[in-house]
Amino acid sequence: SLARPNTVLARAGFTSGFGVLAATLGSAVGLGNIWKFPYLTGANGGASFLLVYVLATLLVGLPVMMAEISLGRVGKANPISTLQALAPKGQPWWLIGVAGMLGAFLILSFYSEVVAWVFAYVVKAMRGSILSSDPQVTGAAFNALISDPMQSLLWQWGVLLFIGGILLMGVTKGIEAVTKKLMPILFLLLLLLCAVSLSLDKAWEGLVFLFHPDFSKITASVVLTAMGLAFFKLSIGMGTMMTYGSYFRDDQNIPLTTLRVMAADLSISMLAGIAIFPAVFTFGFAPTAGPSLVFITIPAVFSQIPMGQSLMVVFFVLAAIAATGAMLSLMEVPVVILHERLGLTRPKATLLTIFLLVILGSTSALSNSTLADFKLFGMTPFDLFDFVSSNIILPGGGIFIALFVGWVWGFDKFGGALTNKGHLQNQKVAQAVFFLLRYVSPALILVVMLKGLNLF
Ligand code: PFF
């Protein structure tokens, strides 16, 4: 069973400093930046939402991310085995790893479907079939895709096989090698789109919207949304960063890597906002369109600028690249758990993960067609998985990870990991982060969760 002690297996890992950065940043950067961040910021008050999100990232996101990476690097195993090995005998902290694996499946179920739309849109953009200046038309095109059960399922299966194929090549030749090539391309494409967007007539209005705060919009549930986004963005609270930490080399500087990933990830979100909002405003569309923003508004916007079709291909290729690194890290969690805990070979563990996702993911894929009327707590499976993962599982996992490091693992071991046993000058950082983990992050997360979910 999953509670059985770990069989010792030779493990691969990331080989270079740049490889670590590319893979870790590749996990953080994803549809969170290009799909979620813009529409959430657009709908929740612009700059004031951004401010809360950045605060959550600093007070909660950074400490939990450093905690996870440290645990992983010291444990050198999947999250369940790591927590089992580092906790005192008989204490069930390994359940965090089990919850994380379930969280990975829930996120993958809806995430793989959004990636499916992105991949479908790459092809549609190349064909030019979705280009129209009329949002009615682009909206109808999007609805035709998501309400077609066959297309929704087939694109999703295609995505799962594609990502599974990269994982079959392994941690070093698959994840590390692919993200090392993709991340620089992503950055260049994004800069190109920003330049185009900023050259438009009403670029200024878009920037004002993005950077102008509307504090009246900040409610408890908006704060929870911002904190949930901070977790989702940094891929923390469910063992992903613990898993990647287990592939870090022992000489890797954990605080520095974490800071770099956070800063680059935030920049990419801002650049995505800069690429999208000036264009949205120039052509008079609503920034508050919600999840369909990039699929309905973007095609309508691009149909009105020179070389729009090529630029739209660029946009969706960029989104596909971002999504690939994130999907790899999400699927790696169950793959490595099934591999190391159940003793399946990596290929078998990968195939089993794909198989389970084909089943669970179909509930998300069919949420806009066959299962549209099937609601739990008033939400379709797609919306429910999205809501539960960002607002409950990731923050909940974050609380227990922080408590584990702050109260069980202790300062000596955590500080040892952050300073590489005293070889790096991170002592002050380690003390500050440990303080946050022990006293601040868990309480803060709990209060935001309870208030945001309206529980007290
Ligand atoms: N960080 C990814 C994004 O922002 O798109 C999503 C994600 C990846 C969430 C991995 C959680 C995770 F474990």
pLDDT in tens, 210-263: 888 889 999 999 999 999 999 999 999 999 999 999 999 999 999 999 999 999
Report how far ligand 1's centroid is from the alpha carbon of 434 (Å): 24
| Protein residue closest via CA to atom 7 of ligand 1 | 235
Provide the pLDDT for residue 9: 52
Provide the pLDDT for residue 259: 97
pLDDT band at 126 (very low <50, low <70, confident <90, very high): very high
Give the phi and the psi of residue 376 in degrees, each rounded to 5.
-115, 130
Long-range contacts, 376-384 (Cβ 8 Å, 24+): 381/109, 381/110, 382/109, 382/110, 382/113
Provide the pLDDT for residue 7: 47
What are the Cα distances from residue 277, in Å, to 121, 190, 293, 339, 372?
20, 14, 10, 44, 30
CA angle (325, 176, 93) in 5-degree steps: 75
| Protein residue closest via CA to atom 10 of ligand 1 | 235
| Pocket (CB within 6 angstroms of ligand 1) | 27-28, 30-33, 107, 232-233, 235, 238, 240, 326, 329-330
Locate tokens 């669970």: which residue? 360
Instruction: Identify which of 24, 25, 27 to mutate to test ligand 1's pocket (most ligand atoms within 8 A of the CB).
Output: 27
The pLDDT of 100-118, averaged and rounded, is 96
pLDDT per residue as tens digits for the range 68-85 = 999 999 999 999 999 999
Report how far ligand 1's centroid is from the alpha carbon of 284 (Å): 31
Exposed/middle/buried for 306, CB within 10 Å: 0-12, 13-18, 19+?
Answer: exposed
Instruction: Identify which of 31, 270, 329 to mutate to test ligand 1's pocket (most ligand atoms within 8 A of the CB).
Output: 329
Report how far ligand 1's centroid is from the alpha carbon of 200 (Å): 31
What are the Cα distances from residue 366, in Å, to 219, 268, 293, 362?
32, 31, 20, 6
Report how far ligand 1's centroid is from the alpha carbon of 66 (Å): 16
The pLDDT of 413-436, averaged and rounded, is 96
Q: Which atom of ligand 1 is nearest to the CA of 265?
A: 4
pLDDT band at 143 (very low <50, low <70, confident <90, very high): very high
| Protein residue closest via CA to atom 4 of ligand 1 | 32
Exposed/middle/buried for 421, CB within 10 Å: 0-12, 13-18, 19+?
Answer: exposed
Helices (H) then strands (E): counts for the chain: 22, 0
Provide the pLDDT for residue 2: 64
Specify the amino acid at residue 24.
Answer: T
pLDDT band at 3 (very low <50, low <70, confident <90, very high): low
Domains by residue range for the chain, with CATH: 17-452 (1.20.1740.10)
Looking only at Cα atoms, what is the longest distance across the chain? 65
Report how far ligand 1's centroid is from the alpha carbon of 234 (Å): 6
3 against 251, higher pLDDT: 251
- Please tell me whether the interface predicted TM-score (ipTM) of this complex is above 0.85: yes
What are the Cα distances from residue 333, in Å, to 98, 160, 204, 215, 441?
10, 14, 42, 38, 24
